[in-house]
Structure 1
Amino acid sequence: MIRVASVGDCMLELQARGSGWALGHAGDTFNTLWMMRALLPSEAETDFVTAFGDDPFSDRQRDFMAAHGIGTAASPRLPGLRPGLYAITLDAAGERSFTYWRADSAARRLAEDPGALRHSFTRRDLIHVSGITLAILTPAARRILRDELARARAAGAKVSFDPNWRPALWPAPAEARAAMTELLKITDIALPSWPDEGALFGDPDAKACCARLMALGVREVALKLGAEGAWIAAPGTCGQTVPACPGLTPLDTTGAGDGFNGAYLTARLSGEAPVPAALIANRLAGMVIGVYGALADPEALRRCRAEARLTPGPATARQSD
């Protein structure tokens, strides 16, 4: 049985709809796990590792997760705290702008108890984290998280990491670079985005970005290129560009990269090679941008996955120089 965990912050999501607002639940690592839960076999174990408050909104989040087959492992409940909140507004092209209220989010304390994290990470095949996970933690809590991830990795788990740099969450770019670099040293699968990586680390192009990551010990990189698809670098794959699905008109780009992550990781856990996994992930990410909010309907995701092409041909994946 496949056992995965995703670590981070699930927030309350307010999505502008006409003259009103729709309330949902989302956050980058939760969105990734949502995709994985939809695509993995029903018997797979999927847990979201975070910290909850003791308020009605936290109760609502836990109920929502349970109703969709997502566990919470040893995630603590902390008195007096509550979930973070963010609101999304969209322009005519479906591009997003965000307003956040997360200063007292319970998830900021998810790594304060090493024993709880260790329990949550036990006997995992994969543990997924992001730069946002790191950004909301104190430096001491980041060290605890890294230590427990390293312990789980030594016991057989793979670690996947999406740097997902959000400048507003970090005191300075140098702190983000340092924290992410330390995490990348114990990362098996990196899922960064371009041009964010170039902006933060100074990489001149996608090839240089992948080379930097692999020099740190990362074995596999799926670099998201937005509308251009993804660049895949892995043992046996000397750099291949996998184009995005053509002819897509985005309704809402919220969660597209997270959906790619979840579909890619699921395909890899299911035995697909990196390039076919990226083809599948591009197809599923294309579906995510066709719905409002970060979470597409699980049954629709499964149908889309069943229709996805499994092996690349000359027209869909090209060798890069």
Structure 2
Amino acid sequence: MKRFLTLGEPMVMFTAQSEGDLAEQMVFHKFVAGAETNVATGMARLGYESYFASRVGDDSLGRFIKQALVKEGIHLNFVSTDTKWPTGFQLKSHTTHGDPEVEYFREFAAFRHIPQSGLDKMLKGMDHLHATGIPLALCENTRQYGFAMMKKARAAGLTISFDPNLRPNLWPSREEMIRVTNEAAIQADWFLPGIHEGEILTGLKEPEDMADFYLQKGVRLVIIKLGSAGAFFKARDGRLGMMAGVPNVKVVDTVGAGDGFAVGAISALLEGCSELEALQRGNAIGALAVQFPGDSDGLPTRPALMDYLHTVYAKIA
């Protein structure tokens, strides 16, 4: 299996065990959260050598994150510990339908102080880098860290995927969010926006027009997530297609769906599968992700994924 690397801010998520206002909740369950940790976890469960570059505080939350990731088989060679700044966390409401309420406590977090040294060492021997727009939004240091990692990965010959993961509340302005995110997107080989993110970033409405916007700037493949409708792709050589989503999915929690899709699409492409197979695998893992309360609870092992693919797409056919 190829070596996979991603970078980002890990957080501890405290999820309420009963529905209602977060202020009234007294019992919480503890998970590891973060878009990039979800993807690293998903890739590890599929058998990849999965590496994570990050920084946590010298505290119980930092130890919890490292212990949880090690249990998933994720390599922590590039996760450093900060003795001054603590680990970030979030509180999440419990809901059986729709999007939960989430409160973040991250402005002080250790990841914002990650050093920009040692990137060449991290990338040596890696095959693929997955980046998201979240580090670009947190602060100037993490923004420069993200851009430096992508630039050095390209120089080292890695393939690069980029998921914008737009978080408007983290950015000082919509204009800066669009400008910086697009600057990063065109550094990638594979760009993976959702349909609404594509509309924000390009001002366009049609998936093919959005794809052309990035293909003309050098991206090799654009995959646009269409929610329950499935996903669309267009490649630099003009090939395009769409794959229907998984029908009749019982949604428990929508958080993590895009990360699950990324795991499916990236793993398939790294294995030489066709773009339509990548969309199919992405749809399947995204559908599994939303059927569980934790961000990564639904991410499958390879045998579980193959069984699910055979079941759901056989029904569609």
Fold equivalence (TM over 0.5): yes
Specify the alignment match of 1:185 in structure 2: 186
Distance 1:148 1:199, change over 3 A: closer
CA contact (8 A) 1:284 1:301 kept: no
- CA drift of 1:37 comes to 0.9
Deviations 1:196-220 (A, max 9, x none): 2213431222222111111221111
The answer as to whether partners of 2:285 and 2:299 remain within 8 angstroms in 1 is no
Q: RMSD of the TM alignment (CA)?
A: 2.2
Amino acid at match of 1:101: F
Deviation sequence 1:174-210 (CA, Å, 0-9, x none): 2112211221221001111111221343122222211
Q: Which residue of the other structure, out of 89, 94, 97, is the alignment partner of 2:93?
A: 89
Range moving further from structure 2, 81-90 or 296-305: 296-305
Asked if 1:122 corresponds to 2:129, the answer is: no
Paired letter, 1:241? M
Partner SS for 1:50: strand
Which residue in the other structure is 1:283 paired with?
A: 284
Deviation at 1:120, TM superposition (A): 1.7
The question of whether the paired residues in 2 share the 8 Å contact of 1:39 and 1:263 is answered with no
Counterpart residue identity of residue 267, structure 1:
A
Q: Please identify runs of 4+ aligned residues in structure 1 that moved more than 6 A.
A: none
Distance 1:241 1:136, change over 3 A: same
Which residue of structure 2 lines up, in the alignment, with residue 267 of structure 1? 268
* Partner Cα separation in structure 1 for residue 139 and residue 72 of structure 2: 27
- Counterpart CA distance in 2 for 1:109 and 1:217 is 32
> Which deviates further from its counterpart, 263-272 or 295-304?
295-304
Identify which range, 25-34 or 202-211, moves more after superposition. 202-211
Partner of 1:247: 248
Is the Cα–Cα contact under 8 Å of residues 256 and 286 in structure 1 kept in the other structure?
yes
Paired residue type of 2:127: D
Query: Matched residue pairs, number?
Result: 308
Percent of aligned pairs sharing the same letter: 25
Partner Cα separation in structure 2 for residue 51 and residue 64 of structure 1: 15
2:246 and 2:145 mapped to 1: Cα distance? 40
Q: 1:165 to 1:59 in 2, by over 3 A?
A: same
Q: Please report how far the alpha carbon of residue 297 of structure 1 lies from its aligned counterpart in structure 2 after TM superposition.
A: 5.4
Q: 1:279, 1:309 within 8 Å by CA — same for their partners in 2?
A: no
1:68 partnered with 2:68: no
The residue aligned with 2:42 is: 35
Normalised by the length of structure 2, the TM-score is 0.90
Q: Which moved more, 1:238-247 or 1:255-264?
A: 238-247
Deviates more, 1:69-78 or 1:49-58: 69-78
Q: Deviations over 1:215-273 (max 9, x none)?
A: 22111111111111111112456332211101112011110110010111111111211
SS in 2 for 1:305: helix
Residue 73 and residue 282 in structure 1: after superposition, are their counterparts in 2 closer, same or farther (change >3 A)?
same
2: distance between equivalents of 1:297 and 1:240? 27
Return the alpha-carbon distance in structure 1 between the equivalents of residues 159 and 214 of structure 2.
16
Deviations 1:29-51 (A, max 9, x none): 111111111113xxx42111111
Which letter maps to 2:65? Q
Q: What are structure 2's unaligned runs of at least 5 residues?
A: 19-24
| TM-superposed deviation, 1:83 | 1.8
Q: Is the 8 A contact 1:12 1:24 kept in 2?
A: yes
The one-letter code sitting in structure 1 at the alignment partner of 2:106 is R
Counterpart residue type for residue 7 of structure 1: L
CA–CA separation in structure 1 for the residues paired with 2:182 and 2:163: 12
Report 1:96-107 matches (<5 A). Answer: 96-107=100-111
Q: Report the AA paired with residue 45 of structure 1.
A: E
CA contact (8 A) 1:55 1:81 kept: no
In the superposition, relative to structure 1, how do residues 300 and 127 fare at CA in structure 2: closer, same or farther (>3 Å)? closer
**Aligned residue number for residue 156 of structure 2:** 155
Match of 2:22 in 1: none
When structure 1 is superposed on structure 2, of 80-89 and 232-241 the one drifting more is 232-241
Offset at residue 21 of structure 1 (A): 1.3
> Hey, what does 2:2 align to over in structure 1?
2
| Contact 1:173-1:200 at 8 Å conserved across structures | no
Q: How far apart are the structure 1 equivalents of 2:76 and 2:119? A: 11
1:84-128 per-residue CA deviation (whole Å, 9 max, x = no partner) reads 111222444242231111101111223x32x22222222211111
In 2 relative to 1, CA 237–293 (structure 1 residues): closer, same or farther, beyond 3 Å?
farther
1:85–1:102 CA contact under 8 A, matched in 2: yes
Distance in 1 (alpha carbons) for counterparts of 2:204 and 2:151: 27
**TM-aligned CA distance change 1:132 to 1:194, over 3 Å:** same
Partner in structure 1 of residue 17 of structure 2: 17
After superposition, the Cα gap between the structure-2 partners of 1:299 and 1:309, relative to the gap in structure 1 and judged at 3 Å, is closer
Equivalent pair of 1:74/1:119 in contact (CA under 8 Å): no
In the TM superposition, what whole-angstrom CA distance separates every residue of 1:254-307 from its partner, at most 9, and x where no partner exists? 101100101111111112111111111111111111111111256666413344
